[in-house]
């Protein structure tokens, strides 16, 4: 029976520590969040980011736009936020409305305020093994979870399933920097089971509910579930068939309460770190 990795608890500890540091600051970190989407999940994510940043005493500002927003208006807002001394961190919630060019927007954010670590300068720094201004939030949260449970990474065989710019690719890079041997699998990968069966650590970030079955997991392996699917009846499930896989795995993250809270904790931590860097 696997040990359940309690992301909620680790995230709470990070936020408590952060709160005590922020309370000692005269000025407060400023986080700007841009929501240009009518995606329900994105709306919920942005609300919980707002709640957490208010609880920490951050000066957070949410910019919500309807479908009439233009690329030009968004570009202008990014320029204003880049120039605003009170804004230390900028987050553009993805995905954007289909008529907008997200990559152009991400590349216009000042890399020093790029709280998601999505700017090519920050992505490039990580790929060179250098410290970026900010690490991508979910990958950073996953590495913290593994470390909190003393799960060593050096020399471990890890498969990351899903090659998104938000999770799959950056977490593969971070784990490689931690000396893991990383396989990056995706929707075109052949015979996924023959790969996952051999792995010490499985990280699944596909959004395909219950993709990872018990017979795909080596006994004692660590299983990290980044996927989240909302069902019509309001329930949530991850990429992993949790009830069955927990009988085989050594460690497993639940959904909800695993990786999700760590993403927000990393975002709050990144905001604080960018604030400190800009006020040195
Ligand atoms: N959409 C899904 N996850 C994320 C994230 O971590 N950051 C941003 N900006 N958008 C997302």
Does residue 269 line the site of ligand 1, with CB under 6 A?
no
Catalytic residue among 28, 52, 113, 116: 116
Is residue 232 domain-shared with residue 141, that is, in the same domain? yes
Cβ burial of 60 (10 Å; 0-12, 13-18, 19+) is buried
Specify whether 100 is located in the same domain as 146: no
Residue 182 pLDDT = 98
Clarify whether 116 is annotated catalytic.
yes
CA–CA separation, 136 and 128 (whole Å): 15
Report yes or no on 17 lying in a domain.
no
Contact between 128 and 136 (Cβ < 8 Å): no
Q: Which residues contact 189 (CB under 8 A, 6 or more apart)?
A: 161, 195
Q: Are residues 177 and 251 in the same domain?
A: yes
Assigned domain for 273 exists: no
- Tell me the CA–centroid distance for residue 40 and ligand 1, in Å: 13
Distance, in Å, from the CA atom of 185 to the CA atom of 207, rounded to the nearest integer, reads: 14
pLDDT along the chain (280 residues), means of 10: 98 98 98 97 96 97 98 98 98 98 98 98 98 98 98 98 98 98 98 98 98 98 96 93 98 97 98 97
Q: Is 95 helix (H, G, I), strand (E, B) or coil?
A: coil
Q: What is the pLDDT of residues 26-79, one digit of tens each?
A: 999 999 999 999 999 999 999 999 999 999 999 999 999 999 999 999 999 999
Are residues 170 and 61 both part of a single domain? Answer: no
Domain range for 148 is: 137-260
Query: Whose CA is closest to atom 8 on ligand 1?
Result: 93
Q: How far is the CA of 222 from the centre of ligand 1 (A)?
A: 24
Q: Is 4 contained in some domain?
A: no
Quick one: pLDDT at residue 234? Answer: 87
114 phi and psi angles, rounded to 5 deg: -80, 85
137: Cβ below 6 Å to ligand 1?
yes
Residues 59 and 160 in one domain: no
Q: Answer yes or no: is 231 within a domain.
A: yes
What is the number of domains present in the chain?
A: 2
Q: Are residues 141 and 176 in the same domain?
A: yes
Question: Tell me, what's the pLDDT at 153?
Answer: 98
Q: Provide the token pair at 174.
A: 């971070």
């Amino acid at each position: 029976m696997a040990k359940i990795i309690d992301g909620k608890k680790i995230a709470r500890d990070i936020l408590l520590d952060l709160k005590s540091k922020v309370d000692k600051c005269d000025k407060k970190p400023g986080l700007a969040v841009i929501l240009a989407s009518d995606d329900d999940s994105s709306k919920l994510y942005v609300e919980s980011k707002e709640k957490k940043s208010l609880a920490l005493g951050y000066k957070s500002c949410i910019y919500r736009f309807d479908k009439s927003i233009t690329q030009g208006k968004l570009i202008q807002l990014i320029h204003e936020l880049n120039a605003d001394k009170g804004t230390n961190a900028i987050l553009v919630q993805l995905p954007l409305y289909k008529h907008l060019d997200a990559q152009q927007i991400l590349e216009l954010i000042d890399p020093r305020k790029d709280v998601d670590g999505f700017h090519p300068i920050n992505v490039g720094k990580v790929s060179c093994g250098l410290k970026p201004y900010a690490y991508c939030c979910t990958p950073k949260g996953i590495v913290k979870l593994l470390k909190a449970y003393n799960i060593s990474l050096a020399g471990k065989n890890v498969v990351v399933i899903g090659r998104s710019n938000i999770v799959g690719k950056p977490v593969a890079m971070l784990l490689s920097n931690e000396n893991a041997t990383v396989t990056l699998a995706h929707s075109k990968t052949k015979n996924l089971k023959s790969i996952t069966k051999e792995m010490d650590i499985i990280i699944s970030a596909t959004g395909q509910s219950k993709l990872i079955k018990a017979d795909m997991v080596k006994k004692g392996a660590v299983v990290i579930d980044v996927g989240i699917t909302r069902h019509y009846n309001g329930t949530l499930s991850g990429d992993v068939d949790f009830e069955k896989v927990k009988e085989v795995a050594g460690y497993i993250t639940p959904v909800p309460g695993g990786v999700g809270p760590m993403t927000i904790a990393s975002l709050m931590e990144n905001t604080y770190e960018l604030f400190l860097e800009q006020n040195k």
